[in-house]
Amino acid sequence: MRTPAAQAGVTGLQAGSSMARSPIMSRYNFRESEAKWQRIWREQRLFEVAAEPGRPKYYVLEMYPYPSGKLHVGHVRNYTIGDLVARYRRAQGFNVLHPMGWDAFGLPAENAAMAENIHPAIWTHENIKTMRAQLERMGFGYDWSREIATCHPDFYRHQQKIFLDFLAAGLAFRTESWVNWDPVENTVLANEQVIDGRGWRSGATVEKRLLAQWALRITAFTEELLDAIGQLERWPERVRLMQENWIGRSEGARVCFAVAGTDERIEVFTTRQDTLFGASFLALSPNHPLSLRLAEKDPGVSAFIAECNRMGTSEAVIETAEKRGYPTGLEAVHPFDESRHVLVYVANFVLMEYGTGAIFGCPAHDQRDLEFARKYRLPVIPVVLPPGEDPATFTIGDIAYVDDGMLINSAFLDGLSVAEAKRAAGERLEKLGLGERTTVYRLRDWGVSRQRYWGCPIPVIYCSACGIVPVPEKDLPVILPADVSFDVPGNPLDHHPTWKHVPCPVCGGPAQRETDTLDTFFDSSWYFLRFCSARAPVAFEREAVDYWMPVDQYIGGIEHAVLHLLYSRFFTRALKQCGYLNLDEPFAGLFTQGMVYHETYQSENGEWLFPEEVVTGEGGRLVDLAGRPVTAGRHEKMSKSKKNVVGLDVIVDMYGADTARLYLLSDSPPERDLEWTETGIEGIWRYVNRLWRMVSEPPVALAAPGTPIPAALPPAVEGTRRATHKTIAAVTDDLDKFRFNRAVARIRELTNTLEELPSSEPGAAEVLREGLETLTRLLGPMMPHLAEEMWQMLGGEGLLADQPWPVADPQLTRDEQVTIAIQVNGKLRGTLEIPRDLDNLAVEEAALALPHVLRWLEGQPPRKVIVVPNRVVNIVA
RNA sequence: GCGGACGUGGCGAAAAGGUAGACGCAGCAGACUUAAAAUCUGCUCCGGGAUACCGGGUGCGGGUUCGAGUCCCGCCGUCCGCACCA
């Protein structure tokens, strides 16, 4: 209980202009406190660590940010979770590596260069400066001595060496791949720059173009990457599933169709060789070699292919586009029946990158084929009979039948199940020499060339005499030129007057540098290794990596579930093959946090408004600052375009870092999306002050630090002490399982309990001290500044950050009395207080004696009684 | 289109197959105050009832079970990824 005496006579500390209204109630001065503790942590180099062989380590890493400008509150959820884990493991005695860096190359810097006429390097460095200051203000315990930026030559010189080693090992190679081409800007567009088939700036219809590019042979590790997913025990199941599906192992068969009247053969890949007798057409990818040859003679085919090439390169676009085909006039001969011919189409939905770039269509048993067949009036022959259907009457309507059944209309396959028919058809194909059973994967090699300036230069030189020549190691790094112009569309490196012209390292003749740069996923595939020895003259020191790797806890957004995480897994293996390290999996534990949402606001004329431009007017209606009406819209992921962002600085100015941190941890489970609300953050701010007052103005004089707690306590005081120890156990368990919102709820429960402690009872002073010290330690990883302040006020020694994590006394976490539920026919009819582990018969007797139970039994003996020890009794009447 | 997830009060949520709604936000009533803010106390899933209590209730429809928010089958809705955004 708070007493008026405790509130009186304390001067109001100025805690933020909007908050410091009270002359009576004291407020926590977070500004002074947060700056002070941040200074002390920095001065003591608290979070700078070195490898200590023999001491257990813990590597915590949050996915490093792209320096896009200023942070909003949505950005820091990730880092708040990471800092909690880092400080928690530190308190548990681990040598914790918790570094931070910048994913500093990328497209937005070039967009800014064009839009605002600012150099990408300057834009990036200014953003880094701003964001670093913002992270420091949040009190995150990073080892800043290991800070890296991928755009720094000290980082990318090593990356260029890695590229050359990959090249030497055959893991990097030249290939051709398709890109989105903007014919007006003369530029390659990223998928996100293609909107409804048009360039986002020019509005021109985007074309597909084939370009010679560098790629990495991730497919050399396909099976390994797939098989090892099973060992990633501390990864979310959904991420493992997504990676499995991405790699996409399919067992099936290659089947050769001869083209009637020619020597031409078309090889298709199928997983449904059992349905070959239901084939009614063949479809070729528009990029299939045969399609291209046909196009040379047939203007219709040529026009159709050109039309397909006007579609973007992204799979989502291709798969959602209307399925269309163009008849080539060719007929293919059925491999099992020479008398049967099927039409050959070129079709826009067949991908050259997958299988053989050609398919056979069996409309009866594949939905997409069925729609195609209906559209072009092709036969639909059912060959798999669903159980219980009559073969004489079974027909296919609008829905293809894709499940198991018995083969019909299929000659030697008739009567078999789908699995048996797959085997039999495969064997027959092999015997006829017309095909073979095979396994294909969806995973493609990774194209790493980007026709852009702001990326790591690819260290190769093209010589007309010597061909592709790697830049000699002594000439690394190949440095990006600073004097570039974005006035001309296209790649500034290519336009640069001198940069690309160099003598050939082999023959000394005139040669040209590669002007493509590396995909930024290349940077992020090894940055976590660089952190282990961030200033090393090599990419990373072997001993440092041996000590610190793998990352024990990696934390980031679910949007990286496949690409970044799969590329990093591949990279680690590729580096192992090149002798860099001895490790397969870079991330032992992975956690993917949800996004942060906020309500959107629109003015009368449909313009988006920032939350701070909206106030509640008369009658609770929303208005803008000029009093004009505002419509509140959907709650969406915070984004600049919809303006539904809450700036981090605004929140930290108004409430402090700790309040923001606790809100981000407490409101929703971390894996789920979180709704940012102004009232929610105010609630946390009130709680922060409550905690501060509990320690600065305790209701009873606390016992001196270290005073032993009396063995015998009055029941109410004993109950509080038990609550303290139960909270330690529960919070520890919750933190281990990433249930931060629950942990916060437990801590708040303990706060409530401590406030209700009867202060006049014997032992209260000692139990309250234990409770408050515990509370402080448990809060440490969440609200580190406030916790230090509380620790100091409690007279604790040294820094709270150096204190060990509390341990619960098992004697005090077990209750001797339990409350169990009494049900009749599964419905709750009462509860019963019984001693723990009372034997079932006694429990049953007590339950049956309850007046309520007797009423519901109406004098009849129960038919059955189920007793679940210490939980429930269910009486079946 | 393919792949993945999610759905519980006015809101964020909690519940090893065992008392649905802990903890918090918002709201209502009260205390303190000239007043407000801050703080404190109480109430708050829906319907009936003065209370006791009774009935209903976890997106929708089925099923398994002594017992289902939780497990199974089928729908509906929302969100995320799809290889050049990071």
Which residues, in sequence order, are CB contacts of A278 under 8 Å at separation 6+?
Answer: A362, A363, A364, A365, A381, A382, A383, A384, A409, A410
| The pLDDT of residue A590 is above 80 | yes
pLDDT(A128) > 80: yes
- Nucleotide of closest approach to A367 (CA, C1'): B1
How is residue A842 annotated by DSSP? H
- Percent of chain A beyond pLDDT 90? 67
Q: Count the neighbouring beta carbons within 10 Å of the beta carbon of residue A80.
A: 27
**How far: A218 CA to B86 C1' (Å)?**
21
Provide long-range contacts, Cβ within 8 A and 24+ apart, for A288-295: A288/A346, A288/A350, A288/A352, A288/A357, A288/A358, A290/A264, A290/A266, A290/A358, A291/A328, A291/A346, A294/A328, A294/A330, A294/A346
A695/B22 CA-to-C1' distance in Å: 25
Please give the Cα distance from A319 to A861 (Å, whole number). 65
Which nucleotide across the nucleic acid strands is nearest to A451, CA versus C1'? Answer: B84
The alpha carbons of chain A give a radius of gyration, in whole angstroms, of 34
| Closest C1' nucleotide to A563's CA | B83
Reading the block at residue A858, the tokens are: 């109406």
Rounded to an integer, what distance in angstroms lies between the CA atom of residue A730 and that of residue A748?
A: 12
Separation of A494 CA and B84 C1' (Å): 18
User: Which nucleotide C1' is nearest A178 CA?
Assistant: B84
ipTM exceeding the 0.90 mark: yes
Residues A224-276: pLDDT tens digits?
999 999 899 899 988 998 899 899 999 999 999 999 999 999 999 999 999 99
CA distance to A70, A315, A325, A680, per residue, from A137 (Å): 13, 42, 59, 21
**Mean per-residue pLDDT of chain A:** 90
Task: Decide: A834 and A868 in contact? Cβ < 8 Å.
Answer: no
To 10 degrees, what angle do helices A740-755 and A764-779 make? 160
Q: Is the CB of A444 under 7 A from strand B?
A: yes
Q: Other C-beta atoms within 10 Å of A19: how many? A: 17
A219 DSSP assignment: G
Q: Is the pLDDT of residue A838 over 60?
A: yes
What's chain A's length in residues? 877
- Measured CA to CA, the distance from residue A530 to residue A162 in angstroms comes to 12
Q: Which of A315, A340, A181, A322 is nearest to A260 (CA)?
A: A340
Q: For the residues A80-96, what does the mean pLDDT come to?
A: 97
Q: How far is CA A286 from CA A318, A355, A404, A681, A683, in A?
A: 12, 14, 32, 55, 60
Number of H helices, E strands in chain A: 28, 37
State, as a whole number of angstroms, the distance between the CA of A852 and the C1' of B50: 22
Secondary structure of A709-764 as H, E, C letters = CCCCCCHHHHHHHHHHHHHHHHHHHHHHCCCHHHHHHHHHHHHHHHHCCCCCCCCH
Q: A92-104 in b/e burial notation, b at 16+ Cβ within 10 A?
A: eebbbbbbbbbbb
A641 CA, B77 C1': separation in Å?
26
* Residues A600 and A99 sit within 8 Å (Cβ to Cβ): no
The token pair at A212 is 């010679």
- The tokens for A854 are 């007797």
d(C-alpha A774, C-alpha A795), whole Å: 13
Decide: CB of A208 under 7 A of nucleic strand B. Answer: no
Per-residue pLDDT tens over the stretch A674-722: 888 888 899 999 999 999 999 988 877 889 998 999 989 998 899 999 9
- The runs of H, that is alpha helices, within A92-152 are 107-116, 120-137
Q: Is the CB of A826 under 7 A from strand B?
A: yes
Summarize pLDDT for A528-583 with one digit per residue, the tens: 999 999 999 999 999 999 999 999 999 998 888 889 999 999 999 999 999 999 99
- Strand B contact nucleotides, protein CB < 7 Å: 1-6, 11-16, 18-20, 22-26, 36-41, 54-56, 66-68, 79-86
